[in-house]
Amino acid sequence: IGCDCPETEKEGQPGEFYADEATRYTSDTILGRTVYLEKDHSETDRYGRLLRYIWLQVPDEITEETIREYNVSASLIENGYASSITVGDDDKYAVLFGDLENEAASEGIGMWSEAA
């Protein structure tokens, strides 16, 4: 929840800029690890996909620092692999995610690089 990564190649459609990098980063970050899921308001999206925030560790306290350190959506956005997105009322971290996107974009990180 809260992030939108570039789409990879599908059904003959070319992949979007930085999609392969985003896929690789996500795989490297979560594959083979125990992750923790947090629900906001919705169970699933219109495609039937489970909507959850993914955490690499359950923080003792949810702060900006722990969100940046352990929340996968925040990490993707902060490192320029995704943009922030809010759909419906699943917006628990929307303000911070928007700030992270603005920071990444202003610094030209990842998908916000000059090549974009």
Q: 5: closest CA among 114, 95, 70, 79?
A: 79
Report the alpha-carbon distance of residue 96 to residue 53 in Å, rounded: 14
Residue 111 has pLDDT above 90, yes or no: yes
Q: What is the mean pLDDT of the chain?
A: 95
The encoded tokens of residue 87 equal 């759909």
d(CA 94, CA 38): 14
The mean pLDDT value for 16-43 works out to 97
Predicted confidence band of residue 57 (pLDDT cuts 50, 70, 90): very high
Residue 116 pLDDT more than 90? no
Question: What pLDDT is stored for residue 115 in this prediction?
Answer: 60
